[in-house]
Amino acid sequence: MDEPLEIEQEGVGTPAWAAFGDLMAGVLGAFVLVLAAALVGQLDLANKLEAEVQQRQAEQARREALERALAGPLAESLKSGRITLVEGRIGISGAVLFATGSDQLHAEGRALIKSLAVPLRTYLAQRDEILMVSGFTDDRGLLGGRFADNWELSAQRALTVTRTLMAEGLPPDAVFAAAFGPQQPVASNDDASGRALNRRVEIAPTPRPRRAAASAP
C-alpha cells in the first residue's frame, strides 16, 4: 500500500513563539532607546542646573567681596542715603554728583568718587573684572543747555565719573562708561521723588571680556 504523499507549504509550521519573540525584541529595543534618551536628557539638565548654581554662587561671592571692600567708605554714605548698594551695583544719586543739566561734579560728589577709588582699585586688582560706569536720567526733556538730549547728558556724566576714577588711579583698561538716558528707570517718572531716583550713576563690577585668540598665520 502506497504511503501518503507529504506536501510541504511555505510558512506552514513556523512556531508562533518565534514571531512573538521577534516582536518582544523589537519592543525591548525601542524601550532601551527611549530610556537612553531620557537618561541623556536628565544628565544634560543636571549639568545645566549645576552650572547655574555655580554661577549664582560666584555672583554671590562677588557681591559679598565688593561689600567687604567698600564697607568703610560706604558706611556713612549708605546711612545718609547718598548711595545704594544693590545686587553688586553702587548707585549714586545724581543730585549728589551734579547740578541740574550739568556734567560737572559737585565738590561733594568728587569727594565721594575719590573715596571709592582706592577700595575699588584694590578690589579689581584681586579679581579678573572691570567697572562699568552707567549714566541714567529721568524722562523729562532738557530745557536749553549744551546737551542735545538725555542720552548725551547721561553719557557725559558717566564719562565724568569714569575719568575721575582714572585720575584717582584706576587703570584705563579696568573701567568704561555706558549711557542709558531715560531707559531702565528704578521709579516712576510721574512725580518729583521718582524722577530724582532715576537721575543717577551706577558703578558695577562685571567680568572682563575674554580676548579672542590670535589668528594662526
Domain ranges of the chain: 20-67, 70-207
DSSP element (H, E) containing 203: strand 200-207
Which has more confidence, 146 or 1? 146
By mean pLDDT, which of 5-9, 89-93, 194-198 is the weakest? 5-9
The 10s digit of each residue's pLDDT in 94-127 is: 999 999 899 999 999 999 999 999 999 989 988 8
SS3 content of the chain, % helix, strand, coil (to 5): 55, 15, 30
Per CATH, the homologous superfamily of domain 70-207 is: OmpA-like domain (3.30.1330.60)
Residue type at 100 in one-letter notation: T
Q: What cell was used for 213? A: 585668540
- Which pTM does this prediction carry? 0.71
- The span from the CA of 39 to the CA of 36, in Å, is 5
pLDDT at 27 over 90: no
pLDDT at position 48, please?
76
| Stretch 13-18: mean pLDDT | 60
| Stretch 15-44: mean pLDDT | 74
Residue type at 34 in one-letter notation: V
147, 102 in Cβ contact below 8 A?
no
Map grid coordinates 561689600 to a residue: 67
- The band of 182, judged by pLDDT with boundaries at 50, 70 and 90, is very high
Q: What cell was used for 162? A: 569714569
Q: What are phi and psi of 203, to 5 degrees?
A: -120, 120
- The span from the CA of 192 to the CA of 167, in Å, is 34
The 10s digit of each residue's pLDDT in 30-86 is: 777 787 777 887 777 777 777 777 767 777 777 787 878 788 777 777 777 788 888
Q: Which of 185, 130, 133 is nearest to 156 (CA)?
A: 133
